[in-house]
Structure 1
Amino acid sequence: MTKERCFRVFAAVFLFAALAFSFATPTHAAPIDDQFQAWLQTDLWPEAKSKGISKKTFDAAFLGVKPNLKLPDLVLPGEKPTTPQKQHQAEFGPPADYFAEKIIRAVTTGGRARESANARVLGLIEKRYGVPGEVVLAIWGRETGFGAAKMPYDAFEVLGTKAFMSTKKDFFRTEVLAALEIVERGLAPVNAMKSSWAGALGQPQFMPTSFLKHAVDFDGDGRPDIWNSTPDVLASIANYLVHYGWLRGRGWGTEVTVPANVSCSLEGPDQGKKISDWVAMGIRRVDGKAFAASELKAEGFLLMPAGRSGPGFIVTPNFYVIKQYNNSDLYGLFIGHAADRIAKGDATFVGAWGAVGDLHRSDIAALQRALEAKGYDVGSADGLPGFKTRRSIGVWQAKNGKPATCFPDAGLVAQLK
């Protein structure tokens, strides 16, 4: 073989290898890193500087940080958003799964153990904020297993990536600037800023803006520490709930029986009635006790998170305060139920959860769009059966001569397509 031919063969092999490598390696990797660094310096830094963040703090926060392309809900530069990625929160599963006994028992047994160990602090918190200790403990247990859950992410990596290229860039831009403020003010060092995949911090899982608004120093050491101080963690959770309107002296709600002649479409925070009115309609507590006289005069709301395929509840405005922590009916119910079990023992729901919730989100979203086309308010066609979707289903069913179940199922999806 001549030298010239050898060279041509070598060149061809080299070219083939180079092309193969270019296809095997994401072409956007290096450019995205470069774009991210440019965005940090020319876009985010000027705003951070205008808000009083020093270059020292900014550089320390982003030292060695690159965009994490494994995070959910990202949109690559120059691309359009696609359909929602797989959700990472259990709120989106079947209702019954959310209340698996091993999950709720871990919170309730752990809560009772910590209730006795922190009795004095919890008493002082309830006296100051009016939030029962059991509610605070239930949130603490649900969020991070009473602080046992490890936060594996660098908060600035998560928040920076999402501020640069997520589907909610404006939201995360505000949060990353708040995280920088936390460090700038000396409330936490950079190396302590570990977070969840969503950018939530510490044992209460506060977003940075929530930390700045609600974190409190309850142990008297001069700074709010939601990473290491149990008194600060517990008081900060209570302070958060108070900020969103917790009503001192009222609980979250109670399980009830809902007669067949009471429509499940009456649920929702915008359809409240005096509890005496619900009682007049035949609704009763499952424990056989009467509502307290003071409660009868107060407002209550019907909650049926699985429609007729699950237990029903009359809840107070405090239930919707709990939902400010995580905007899910199932989350709010989990916290209320766990708090009751911490206080009173491990009693389960009286009503049974039916076999519902096995649809894909795309199926539910299709149903929601069909209802919207017929003029119904489903809240958002997001594939999640919230109270507006549930009650719209019930109203449609009643109008079409069908028993109102107020929950999506495969047959309903097929009928509405």
Structure 2
Amino acid sequence: MFRAIFIFATLVVLSGSAFAQDRASVERQFQGWLKQTVWPQAKAKGVSRRTFDNAFKGVTLNWKLPDLVPPGTQPQTPKRQRQAEFGSPGKYFNRGSIDGATSVGRQMMQRHASALAKVEQDTGVPGRIILAIWGRESGYGRVSIPHDVFQVLGTKGFMSTRADYFTKELVAALMIAQAGHAPESAMKSSWAGALGQPQFMPTNFLEYAADGDGDGRADIWGSEADTIASIGTYLDRHGWVSGRDWGFEVTVPSSVSCTLEGPDQGQSIAKWEKMGITRVSGRPFPKHELKGEGYLLMPAGRSGPAFIVTPNFYVLKEYNKSDLYALFVGHVGDRIQYGVGDFSARWGAVGGLYRSDVAVMQRALEGQGHDVGGADGLPGFKTRRSIGRWQEGTGRAATCFPEASMKSALTP
């Protein structure tokens, strides 16, 4: 027995030693990649050797970041969902997040009234929308941003599922450091490499950061006026339509299929209204919105609130690709300015599935000819409506959201 224990302990030690050696080898490859791949690209963009060396002084790989693909391994669909945007829909709208973003947002609306008014006049983007994004991204600049941007982007540029994208962002971060846009101590980022109060990726900073206080600099780290101007500029440049809202919570009668969801199935809001879709407030849609295009959004299928959204909703998704993110921003903005309450419809007890299980369903639906938008384990609108079409085609009531029981039904 003692011999068996000794052998097991030895194997564990050897295994740990081999793992440490593997990591050490990868670390050496990382340092070589910085010198051979990143430095030539940075130099071509005007980054000095001094800036480059200072950025990577003492930097090693961060093995705790998500979606890493070390050399010699294959990417896998993660079992556990790491991003709130892809969990159970209702959890995204927790009481603390909603109330905190709203109450502080109202204070900020008063404190920065002139800056918000100026940006709205210049860009057409309502101040309440800018505030909601600012609150969601960094708690109005109050949330600690802990990571070294060069370590994060270096790690993800070297070994992640989107290596080329993060390498480009890494070079952009070096350009920001070279230009002196931020002090070295401010080059902190999220786990994805986003910077400052509006959480801009480095390339977005270089393209959209704006000077809101007139001092000749775009400072998204220390200037609240610049943060407001930068968010407004970003949305404006991505197509915000002045004068239109982001969307409206609605009641969808059973006669209207949830499979009609999606930005590629738009029609005038007047036509949606003729189909029997009404606002939950009991008020009519604004007259100036009736001729404009609207789109059905049902982020939890039939098990949650439903919306008719405008093109501006999809501009919000340019800031973050999640339906729930854009919905949160629009909703909090309305709460800040208009004092509206919670959504009228309740979120059902859906979601919480492993992404790997959802991916199995998506592949099965693809095998039947459905376009699910990719088998990534995430229930986006193409997956939701594909589930609804499969349900309708097999004589089931369409709910348009993945459920555990569907896995066996789709993969007999």
Q: What range describes the TM-score normalised by the shorter chain of this pair?
A: over 0.9
1:24 aligns with 2:16: yes
1:84 aligns with 2:94: no
Cα deviation for residue 147 of structure 1 reads: 0.8
Tell me what 2:251 maps to. Answer: 257
Residue 117 in structure 1 maps to residue 111 in structure 2: yes
1:43-95 CA-to-partner distances (Å, cap 9, x unmatched) read 21112112221111111111111111111111222222233364432111111
Q: Is the 8 A contact 2:293 2:310 kept in 1?
A: yes
Q: Aligned AA for 1:214?
A: Y
Q: Which residue, out of 277, 302, 305, partners 1:308?
A: 302
The partner residue of 2:229 within 224, 230, 235 is 235
Q: Which residue of 1 aligns with 2:370?
A: 376
Residue in 2 that maps onto 1:272: 266
The structure number with the bigger radius of gyration is 1
1:337 and 1:146 map into 2 onto residues whose CA distance is 17
Candidates 126, 130, 147, aligned match of 2:124? 130
Q: Which moved more, 1:184-193 or 1:215-224?
A: 184-193
Give the aligned partner of residue 187 of structure 2: 193
2-side partners of 1:342 and 1:304: how far apart? 23
Q: Could you tell me which of 31, 34, 42 is aligned with 1:40?
A: 34
- Contact 1:60 1:190 (C-alpha < 8 Å) held by counterparts: no
Cα RMSD over matched residues?
1.6
Q: Judge conservation of contact 1:73–1:85 (CA < 8 Å) in 2.
A: no
Moved more, 93-102 or 314-323: 93-102
Name stretches of at least 5 consecutive residues in structure 1 with no aligned partner.
1-15
Deviations, residues 242-275 of structure 1 (Å, cap 9, x unaligned): 1110000111000011111001100100000011
3-state SS in 2 of match to 1:410: coil
Kindly provide the CA deviation profile for residues 297-354 of structure 1, in whole angstroms up to 9, marking residues without a partner as x: 1110011111111111110000000011111111111111111101111411111111
2: CA distance, partners of 1:156 / 1:331: 26
1:153-302 to structure 2, matched below 5 A, reads: 153-302=147-296
The CA deviation string for residues 88-113 of structure 1, in whole angstroms up to 9 with x for no partner, is 32111111111112211111111111
Distance in 2 between residues matched to 1:81 and 1:401, nearest whole Å: 37
Task: Tell me, yes or no, if the aligned pair for 1:98 and 1:330 is still in contact at 8 Å.
Answer: yes
Percent of residue pairs identical = 59
The answer for the alignment partner of 1:399 in structure 2 is 393
Q: Structure 2, unaligned stretches of length 5 or more?
A: 1-7
**Is contact 2:379–2:401 with CA below 8 Å preserved after alignment?**
yes
**Equivalent-residue separation in structure 2 for 1:57 and 1:191 (angstroms):** 14
Partner of 1:324: 318
Q: TM-score, normalised by structure 1?
A: 0.93
TM normalised by structure 2 equals: 0.94
How far off its partner does 1:22 sit? 4.7
1:11 maps to which residue? none
CA 1:18 to 1:263, structure 2 compared with 1: closer, same or farther past 3 Å?
A: closer
SS at match of 2:21: coil
Residues 267 and 302 in structure 1, CA contact (< 8 A), matched pair in contact too: yes
Shift of residue 191, structure 1, vs aligned partner? 2.8
Q: Does 1:415 align with 2:409?
A: yes
2:56 corresponds to 1:62:
yes
**Native 8 Å contact 1:371 1:392 kept in 2:** yes
Paired with 2:252 and 2:278, the residues of 1 have a C-alpha distance of 7
Pick closer, same or farther for the CA change 1:35–1:261 going to 2, 3 Å: same
Query: Deviations 1:4-34 (Å, cap 9, x if unpaired)?
Result: xxxxxxxxxxxx9998755333112322222
Name the CA distance, whole Å, in 1 between partners of 2:352 and 2:69: 28
Match of 1:8 in 2: none
SS at match of 1:250: coil
Letter in 2 for 1:48: A
Count of residue pairs the alignment pairs up = 402
Distance 1:19 1:297 in 2: 71
- Residues 412/192 of structure 1: CA separation in 2 closer, same or farther (3 Å cut): same
